[in-house]
Amino acid sequence: METPEKIAVMGGGSWATAIAKMLLTNRDHIHWYMRKQDQIDEFIRLGKNPFYLSSVKFDVNRISFTTDINEIVKNCDTLIFAMPSPFLKEHLKKLKRKISKKFIISAIKGIVPDENMIMSDFFHTMYGVPEDNIAVLAGPCHAEEVALERLSYLTIASKDRELSRALVPVFSSNSIRVSTIDDVDGIECASVMKNIYAIVAGVCHGLKYGDNFQAILVSNAIQELNRFCNAAYPQPRNVSESAYLGDLLVTSYSKFSRNRLFGTMIGKGYSVKTAQMEMEMIAEGYYATKCIKEINEKYQVSMPILDTAYNILYEKISPLIEIRMLTDMLR
């Protein structure tokens, strides 16, 4: 397969902005879909995203902006979705053109609420996109460090190895190393679940648990993640690889992690609603907690860390009580 020609970034947040920066290292021109026209107008005027990663300058002459999702689908063969998962269906409601023959790259590290579907399943089942036309962009890779051109590693997962290989030069640069893998389901599952564990890590940080306990928490989290992935998406995989464990580590420990920040605020006594309002960003792990909890009703995997997150976020049980109970379950 040849390298995709007309590529669109779908979304206006920090991760979408980081992806656009990566693309423009290797492409002369990209298309970019954003929901709000005022954001586009300010972007063009300032030469940068006014709301996210605003230190990153862009040559706006190399970008075709639009708020019309149908226009972007008409003009592009490859769509990179990078908006928060809770808003995906809202954007796609406006879609009148078919995307079944497009190449879909999901950079969404979340799950579709209500349907409780990972992104690749959602696009395949609901929009008829062939599995071989779908790829997933995974970490460990924080948008902020991409913007700072710090050495970062991406993983591209697709069931079509030719598609994965064709996408490598699209994202590679001096500061971005790219590898490929065929475990689409496992990578997506890990990308969803690491946000849940990062929230719990943040709660523990807010409650002033130290590094020793954080290490125990994360080592138990990767085991829990592995148990669930093996039950829900069975296939051989090594969760110690960077796309699984590395992404979990950086999301659980990094100062750039919004899920860890969200958890830290809750550990310090904020309510869920207050933490969400003050952050002004989406913590994907909040939505993922409910979705994975509901999915696990089918598989009945032992997931004490997930249960802890659910009880704190949705049952409104005291973080202090829940984490104290969790400490007796971990080894």
What stretch of H or E contains 81?
Answer: strand 78-81
Is residue 1, in this structure, part of any structural domain at all? Answer: no
CATH number, domain with residue 51: 3.40.50.720
Domain containing residue 235: 186-327
- Yes or no: say if 223 and 248 are a contact pair by the CB < 8 Å rule: no
- Which residue, of 153, 182, 211, is where some domain finishes? 182
How far is the C-alpha of 85 from the C-alpha of 194, rounded, in Å? 15
- Which residue, of 182, 216, 241, is where some domain finishes? 182
Q: Do 168 and 260 lie in a common domain?
A: no
Q: Do 138 and 74 lie in a common domain?
A: yes
Is residue 275, in this structure, part of any structural domain at all? Answer: yes
- Which residue, of 122, 157, 182, is where some domain finishes? 182
Is residue 2, in this structure, part of any structural domain at all? Answer: no
Query: From first to last of its 331 residues, what are the pLDDT tens digits of the chain?
Result: 667 789 999 999 999 999 999 999 999 999 999 999 999 999 999 999 999 999 999 999 999 999 999 999 999 999 999 999 999 999 999 999 999 999 999 999 999 999 999 999 999 999 999 999 999 999 898 899 988 899 999 999 999 999 999 999 999 999 999 999 999 999 999 999 999 999 999 999 999 999 999 999 999 999 999 999 999 999 999 999 999 999 999 999 999 999 999 999 999 999 999 999 999 789 999 999 999 999 999 999 999 999 999 999 999 999 999 999 999 999 9
Is residue 229, in this structure, part of any structural domain at all? Answer: yes
- Contacts (Cβ under 8 Å, ≥6 apart) of 15: 82, 107, 109, 143
C-alpha pair distances (Å), 267 with each of 244, 249, 260, 303: 25, 19, 10, 20
- Yes or no: say if 252 and 194 are a contact pair by the CB < 8 Å rule: yes
Q: Do 81 and 176 lie in a common domain?
A: yes
How far is the C-alpha of 165 from the C-alpha of 162, rounded, in Å? 5
Q: Do 66 and 103 lie in a common domain?
A: yes
Query: Which residues are paired to 314 by β-bridges?
Result: none
Is residue 131, in this structure, part of any structural domain at all? Answer: yes
Say what the pTM is. 0.96
Judging by DSSP bridges, how do beta strands 152-158 and 134-138 pair with one another?
Answer: antiparallel
Catalytic residues: 194
CATH number, domain with residue 235: 1.10.1040.10
How far is the C-alpha of 158 from the C-alpha of 240, rounded, in Å? 19
